[in-house]
Structure 1
Amino acid sequence: MRIHVDRDRCEGLGMCEAMAHEFFELDDDDVMHLRDETPAEEHRGQVAAAVASCPVLALSLVD
């Protein structure tokens, strides 16, 4: 699985970071960076919940 970020949609709101800080990180300018673009399958539930929490639908999972 791979995390995909639509940079045109991302507003740096931080919901993903709050739910899965091991994989998402906002910098000082509220730009989101992926800490791990290809998380292990064992983290699918946590990452999927963080992806689903994005209020602007900027995140998706690609298998």
Structure 2
Amino acid sequence: MQKVKYLILGAGPAGLSFACKLSQEGERNFLVLEKEDTAGGLCRSEIVDHAPIDIGGGGIF
């Protein structure tokens, strides 16, 4: 079993921002877990009819 100092649940904007900040501060003992097969959470692009479509919080609600 791997032990980490920081376990970040979700690779959305908040999780990735926190991981980036930890890395910038020199911290390497963290793990980001994401349930989906891609990172980004509500901020991502999907390909629809061969064109990228931005998906964001405003598009979900």
Place the TM-score, normalised by the shorter chain, in its bin: under 0.3
Bigger radius of gyration, 1 or 2?
2
Higher strand share: 2
* TM-score, normalisation: structure 2: 0.27
TM-score by length of 1: 0.26
